[in-house]
Amino acid sequence: MDASVEEILKEHLRRFAGQFRHAGEMVGLLQADGIEITHAREVAPSTWFLRAKPPQHLQEGFGLAPEILLIVITQGGVQARDIQRANSEVMLSGLRLDSNLVIVTDTHFDLQDRLDRIPGTGQRVAWVWDDKDHWAPLSEVLRQQLPTYDAFEERDPVRGDQLMGRDAEVATLRTRVVRGDAVGVFGLRKMGKTSLVRAVTDSLDPASALRNEAGGNDVTSRTCVVWVDAEMLDPDAQVDDVAREMLVSLRRRMRAAQMPYAAPERQGFAGLKDAGEALLDENWRLCFVIDEYDFLFEREADAGPVPGLSRLLRLLRAWSQTRQGTVSLILIGRDPEHLSVPLLDGVSNPLLAWFIPMWLGPLAAPRDTAMLRRLGRRTGLDIGPESAERARHWTGGHPLLHRQFGSALRQATLNHHPALAWKAKTDAHCNEAVERFLERDTVHTVAREVLALLDKRYRPAHDLLLTLAEQEGPPGTLKNQKLHTDGSQTLRNFGILDERTQSLPAYLSWYVRKLLPPMRRMAV
């Protein structure tokens, strides 16, 4: 640590000790655990944030990120706004902080009950003293509290260290964005597309992840991410409405970063053009993200694309060309079908020579097992080789379903070890875990969505999938004569057909055989 930084930290800790009577004992216990305090600051009256770096054996043993955040309320009780500030701190840390865990101390009793009532995601662990002013070491508190929270059960897009097994994809997408490309990120629902893009945009522009003001943090990024969810647009939206949503996102980002921003006098498309050119003239980089981009093209009653959409895309393309790659575009959706049409609004599609498709499939081995075991350590489980093999067989590496299998393993293990002793072994409970996994609505929903998408838009792939699932013997293995059909390529693009084994994930074969209505199977 730099000498000047170290002196600042010491001064802040002296101030902290002057406000909190247990500061000495808290810091001493952290040091005894080998946990190093790296930052300390008062973010609001009586509210302190301490960032701490656990030693490697605790990071690995508990599945922690490189740093954890402690909230210390020196007077009064923790409030929802403190948790919101903590979320911002995670985003502004360069995502070194654990995004799914915060340690909280305040001066009131029943802290854990109050933490559980505060809305939001992630685990909040209360670290408090007992009736005799005695503190347990934080490592012991984590060992007791972490298994009480199902870290596998996460269905919303994840952030920071919770995005696991996607390092190569993040690096590739980041390079393309920095170059000023238009990238289409395609794949099945719940495959992690939004989480992947968030990992890139959070690193390039941390302020874009904030919902509230940064609270005194320095946000120095000169990249501005403008994020729009097309699913939220009205069914009769025009291009001015899309541009207006982009301006709202831009204004929110600048306000969160506490940066000066003069809203354009004009509205809609013209206003977006004015605001964008003003920022580019000030040497900003702009990254536009349109999530669920399909809704720009698939509107109610087959109304076709949003009128005037080509004007917006031409503007972004022109900026990218004339401003030397300082403008990039990311489109998130199921597939590139709409982006490949030669004409849009009766003129040449501006994306044809610009956008690069990027398919996001399941987690490849052994990254799927690494994720399963890390989350297992977080919940007190020792995920054995048979458990990992069963998870791969049944989920095919689908990120959401892999987490669901881990959650089922946790349920099955808890059924036999209610107290959930630390490092409880899971292999003995694999059969029960499979049964619990297949009972889950999430598994059925994912299977239904896969079949519905293929049935509607990729009929050869749909029929091939049903054929593979109905095969005698081990289900779902592709024969040599069908390796290069259009249907098999579609299944590979979506990651439904494993490139190495040429087989389906077992959950799909099981769903087709057990739950798909017989008449639909016979129609193939």
- Residue 486 DSSP code: H
More confident residue, 221 or 464: 464
Residue 215 belongs to a domain: yes
User: Is residue 238 located within the same domain as residue 372?
Assistant: no
353 and 235 in a common domain: yes
Distance of CA 518 to the CA centre of its chain: 37
Mean pLDDT of 340-353: 86
Amino acid at position 69, single letter: L
The mean of the pLDDT values for the chain is: 89
pTM over 0.85: yes
Last residue of a domain, one of 359, 394, 411: 359
Q: Which two tokens stand for residue 513?
A: 């055989």
**Is 80 exceeded by the pLDDT of residue 420?**
no
Q: Is residue 55 part of a domain?
A: yes
Mean pLDDT, residues 256-281: 92
> Averaged over 78-107, what is the pLDDT?
88
Domain assignment present for residue 153? The answer is: no
370 or 470, higher pLDDT: 370
What's the domain count of the chain? 4
The Cα-based distances of 158 to 13, 211, 452 in angstroms read 32, 16, 26
**Residue 155 covered by a domain:** no
Specify the CATH number for the domain of residue 189: 3.40.50.300
Question: What pLDDT score does 124 carry?
Answer: 94
Q: What is the residue type of 76?
A: G
Residue 357, SS3? Answer: strand
Which residue, 295, 326, 359, sits at the end of a domain? 359
Cβ atoms within 10 A of the Cβ of 167, count?
Answer: 11
In angstroms, rounded to a whole number, what is the distance separating the alpha carbons of residues 195 and 201?
Answer: 10
Residue 416 burial (CB count, 10 A)? 11
Give the pLDDT of residue 472: 57
Report the percent of the chain where pLDDT is more than 70.
Answer: 92
Can you say whether residue 454 is alpha, beta or left, with left for phi > 0 and alpha for psi between -120 and 50 degrees? alpha
pLDDT band at 197 (very low <50, low <70, confident <90, very high): very high
Per-residue pLDDT for 216 more than 50? no
The four Cα atoms 450, 455, 458, 459 give a dihedral, to 10 degrees, of 140
Written as six digits, the tokens of 263 are 């809203």
Same domain, 254 and 116: no
Q: Are 340 and 463 part of one and the same domain?
A: no
Residue 471 within a domain: yes
* CB within 8 Å of 143: residues ≥ 6 apart: 62, 380, 422
- CA proximity to 469, closest of 499, 522, 511, 518: 511
Q: Is 157 contained in some domain?
A: no
Of 148, 178, 204, which marks where a domain is finished?
A: 148
CA distance 477 to 209: 42
Answer for the pair 208, 257: CB distance below 8 angstroms, yes or no: no
312 band by pLDDT with thresholds 50, 70 and 90: very high
**Whether pLDDT at 170 is above 90:** yes
Confidence of residue 473 (pLDDT cuts 50, 70, 90): low
Q: Each residue of 129-164: pLDDT tens digit?
A: 876 768 899 999 999 999 989 999 877 777 777 788
Tokens 């790659």 belong to: 325
pLDDT over threshold 80, residue 483: no
Domain carrying residue 396: 366-439
Indicate whether 249 and 343 sit together in one domain.
Answer: yes
Q: CA triplet 147, 152, 156: central angle to 5 degrees?
A: 135
pLDDT digits (tens, 9 = 90+) for 13-32: 999 999 998 999 999 999 99
So what's the pLDDT on residue 481? 47
Residues 68 and 188 grouped into a single domain: no
Cα distance between residue 135 and residue 372, in whole Å: 32
Within this chain, do residues 349 and 430 fall inside the same structural domain, yes or no? no
* Same domain? 410 vs 389: yes
Query: Are 379 and 403 in contact, with CB atoms under 8 Å apart?
Result: no
For residues 338 and 401, state if they share a domain. no
- Mean pLDDT on 181-188: 96
With tokens 């995920």, the residue in question is: 383
Is 161 among the domain residues?
Answer: no
Whether residue 207 has pLDDT greater than 90: no
